[in-house]
Amino acid sequence: MSSSSAPSSLPPLAVVGIGYVGLPLALNFCGVGRKVIALDVDPVKVEKINAGQSYIKHIPSEDIQKEVSRGALTASLDMAEASKCDAIIICVPTPLDRHLEPDLSYVTSTVQALLPHLSKGQTMSLESTTYPGTTEEVLMPMVESMGFKVGVDYHLAYSPEREDPGNEQFPSHTIPKLVSGQTPACLEKALALYKSAYHTVVAVSGTKVAEFAKLLENTYRSVNIGLVNELKIVADKMGIDIWDVINAAATKPFGFKAFYPGPGVGGHCIPVDPFYLTWKAKEYGIHTRFVELAAETNNSMAAYVVQRVSEALNKRRKPLNGSRILAVGLAFKEEVDDLRESPTFRIMDLLAEQGSIVDYYDPYIPSIMRTREHLNWAGKLSVAWDKATLASYDCAVICTGHKAINKSELLAWSDCIVDTRNLLGSLPEADRAGKVLKA
């Protein structure tokens, strides 16, 4: 959605957390004439927004500059700015802690910082993925501690984000938006808010339903990816190409949806969300073995990839220890610069632990930023893409299938390649023979 008209006279909307979810959300509302105040604790993001600069690959700086220049979008570190707004949408991270249990500290600290600036009549909506009951059990007591009655003079909603970064087929404002409210009055307010910016808004019966729906969506993907990752290993042992198998099965027009194997799963959702569900299920005495098994399978794929690298090197009478390995692709999926929870990190860690000298190439990630889980790689630079550089590595491991990667050059310049994404599958088999090992 886009608009060149002046922002409306309505009070501004606050979007708290302006990352991969919050920034496109803010632009959606700007595009329909709403003023948006983007709030974040990261001064770099705030500075870039106010300068009209993007820090996310698939969001052009021009889109931000347009909204900033016409007064529709401003960014601030000051949570007090939320007092000017009639609605507050929270889009902060909900990671797992080291015990694989939900970490809601970003949500609770954000709400705590907002509490002194709340006012009657506002609507607060949480978009962060979380376990069923969070809105009711965590957010509602915090808001009511300020003397507000939820559903009477303050409105709480939950509307799970459904962003798919880099997917040009589904711009965010075209993806059906699930919306729930803590009370019928809360739902009415939330529907009015979201209907202005989304083509399709779907009301659900309660916040727990919406919270569970988000977990179901991503657990569904985790389970099916886990299944095909497990079958990939079986197929390899049988000397069968799993990609050929999937393509054959996908010709069935009903009852089958193709999922594809890889080196694991990444992004903020699929590696994390199933554990939110399993953690909450334990509260009810239920052990979600099927869900946990899929997550374990996906998490084990990095070790399988390293095993295949070892096999490829052994055929060349080279050990892992001391070999130079190039990870091709760092982002968790193709055509994005998002490295959150990328399985490439785990592969790089395992290779380094075996004594390999590890570098990476990613056309969209020139250097590795600081992350919570992989501080050891922070500041490392992507290598140059040229014949001399690629030929200097004992093995190249394709971890992300970016279209920007020149497949023909990679195949010509590298003597040993482990392909986890079937990126080279379209190239002549005669050229791949003896060079490429799938994993």
Each residue's pLDDT tens digit, 67-86: 999 999 999 999 999 999 99
Q: How far apart are the first and last CA of the chain?
A: 41
Average pLDDT over residues 331-335: 94
Structure confidence at residue 1 (pLDDT): 46
Reference 295, options 278, 307, 309, 282; nearest CA is: 278
Q: Examine the pLDDT at 3 and tell me if it is beyond 70.
A: no
Average pLDDT over residues 332-340: 93
User: Domains in the chain and their CATH numbers?
Assistant: 13-205 (3.40.50.720), 240-438 (3.40.50.720)
Residue 270 CB neighbour total at 10 angstroms: 24
Structure confidence at residue 9 (pLDDT): 75
Q: Examine the pLDDT at 4 and tell me if it is beyond 50.
A: no
Q: What is the pLDDT of residues 126-144, one digit of tens each?
A: 999 999 999 999 999 999 9
Q: Examine the pLDDT at 203 and tell me if it is beyond 90.
A: yes
Structure confidence at residue 277 (pLDDT): 95
Reference 427, options 415, 411, 413; nearest CA is: 411
Give the type of residue at 194: Y
Confidence of residue 6 (pLDDT cuts 50, 70, 90): low
Q: Examine the pLDDT at 332 and tell me if it is beyond 60.
A: yes
Order of strands across the sheet that contains 436-438: 357-361, 324-328, 395-398, 417-419, 436-438
Confidence of residue 2 (pLDDT cuts 50, 70, 90): very low
pTM of the model: 0.91
Reference 364, options 54, 154, 118; nearest CA is: 54
Q: What is the pLDDT of residues 372-385, one digit of tens each?
A: 778 899 999 999 99
Structure confidence at residue 373 (pLDDT): 78
Average pLDDT over residues 209-225: 97
Q: Which of 22-36, 155-169, 170-184, 419-433 has the lowest mean pLDDT?
A: 155-169
Catalytic residue among 30, 269, 395, 399: 269
Which DSSP state fits 102? B
Q: What is the pLDDT of residues 50-62, one digit of tens each?
A: 999 999 999 999 9
Whether 269 is catalytic: yes
Rg of the chain taking only CA atoms, in angstroms:
23
